[in-house]
């Protein structure tokens, strides 16, 4: 089957660094995306890794290891507004089918 | 540039009824994907439309159907509503027919089936 596993909850304090892991099992893997969703809001795109290695975008970085079927999202200098759910996602299927498979989400709680 | 919009924002229906949800894609995008998100879960892929053709479907029964129009807006229709259909329905637009990398989500329609 096709699935992505991530921790259900993570708690950290303001100013700290937190890492959210994601392991995946998909056919026809093309890359790993990360989305942020605040309560009651729409998911918003954070980053995408097609190749192994680290991608950095401001306070957020994302890492992919294809050989380990593993990736993570790293959030630095945590702020209260970072409290949200974070989803890893991968495109399932082959060819041009656009099926995007999401993990169950990790709820990040940032405490003062 | 206009973002992704969805209507209505909230909807209450009863079992057995039919519902139509609407989505306007972001300007310049030709692909729309629909997702169902139950409380506390990740979005589940329903289907995708690319240039008015279905371009992939998730594990949803045929009573979930859709359309994409020449202006790339889209509809999701659900017939014979069941209690378990209560969820947030999200549409996302993208460019290129693959849509796996960067999708831009609308605010969603929250459907309650009683």
Q: What is the pLDDT of residues B19-68, one digit of tens each?
A: 999 999 988 888 899 999 999 899 999 999 988 998 888 889 999 999 99
Do B90 and A43 count as a contact with CB atoms less than 8 A apart?
A: yes
| A4 or A28, higher pLDDT | A4
Q: Which two tokens stand for residue A97?
A: 């089918």
Instruction: Name which of B43, B97, B101 is nearest A31 (Cβ-Cβ).
Output: B101
Cα–Cα distance, B36 to A89 (Å, whole number) = 15
Q: Any chain A CB within 8 A of the CB of B100?
A: yes
**Tokens 């979005």 identify what position?**
B43
Cα–Cα distance, B23 to B20 (Å, whole number) = 10
Do A44 and B105 count as a contact with CB atoms less than 8 A apart?
A: yes
Kindly tell me if the per-residue pLDDT of B85 is higher than 90. yes
pLDDT at residue A92, as a whole number: 66
Closest CA to B9 of A41, A34, A53: A41
Q: Any chain B CB within 8 A of the CB of A38?
A: no
Q: Any chain A CB within 8 A of the CB of B107?
A: yes
Q: Any chain A CB within 8 A of the CB of B58?
A: yes
Q: Any chain B CB within 8 A of the CB of A28?
A: no
With cut-offs at 50, 70 and 90, classify the pLDDT of residue A31.
Answer: confident
Q: Any chain A CB within 8 A of the CB of B30?
A: no
Model confidence pLDDT, tens digit, residues A82-100:
999 999 998 766 554 567 8
Q: Which residue of B has its CA nearest to A6?
A: B42
Kindly list the residues from chain B whose CB atom is less than 8 angstroms away from the CB atom of residue A44: 105
| B27 or A14, higher pLDDT | A14
Do B55 and A103 count as a contact with CB atoms less than 8 A apart?
A: no
**Tokens 């656009």 identify what position?**
A98
Give the mean model confidence (pLDDT) for residues A3-13. 96
Do A102 and B42 count as a contact with CB atoms less than 8 A apart?
A: yes
User: In degrees to the nearest 10, what's the CA dihedral of B63, B41, B25, B109?
Assistant: 70
Do B50 and A101 count as a contact with CB atoms less than 8 A apart?
A: no
Do B98 and A42 count as a contact with CB atoms less than 8 A apart?
A: no
Q: Any chain B CB within 8 A of the CB of A75?
A: no
The shortest C-alpha distance from B97 to chain A (Å) reads: 6
pLDDT at residue B66, as a whole number: 96
Cα–Cα distance, B77 to B67 (Å, whole number) = 8
With cut-offs at 50, 70 and 90, classify the pLDDT of residue A33.
Answer: very high
């Amino acid at each position: 089957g096709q699935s992505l596993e991530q921790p259900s909850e993570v708690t950290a304090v303001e100013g700290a660094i937190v890492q959210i892991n994601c392991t995946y099992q998909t056919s026809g893997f093309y890359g790993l995306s990360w989305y942020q969703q605040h309560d009651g809001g729409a998911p918003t795109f954070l980053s995408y890794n097609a190749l192994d290695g680290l991608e950095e975008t401001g306070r957020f970085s994302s890492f992919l290891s294809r050989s380990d079927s593993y990736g993570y999202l790293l959030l630095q200098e945590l702020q209260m507004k970072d409290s949200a759910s974070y989803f890893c996602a991968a495109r399932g299927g082959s060819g041009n089918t656009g099926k995007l498979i999401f993990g169950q989400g990790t709820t990040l709680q940032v405490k003062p | 540039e206009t973002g992704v919009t969805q209507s209505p924002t909230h909807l209450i229906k009863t079992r057995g009824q039919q519902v139509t949800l609407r989505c306007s894609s972001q300007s310049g995008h030709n692909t729309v994907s629909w997702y169902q998100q139950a409380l506390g879960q990740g979005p589940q892929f329903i289907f995708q439309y690319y240039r008015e053709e279905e371009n992939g479907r998730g594990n949803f029964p045929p009573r979930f159907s859709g359309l994409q129009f020449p202006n790339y807006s889209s509809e999701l229709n659900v017939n014979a509503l069941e209690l378990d259909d209560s969820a947030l329905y999200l549409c996302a637009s993208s460019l290129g027919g693959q849509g796996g990398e960067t999708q831009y989500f609308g605010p969603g329609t929250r459907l309650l089936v009683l």
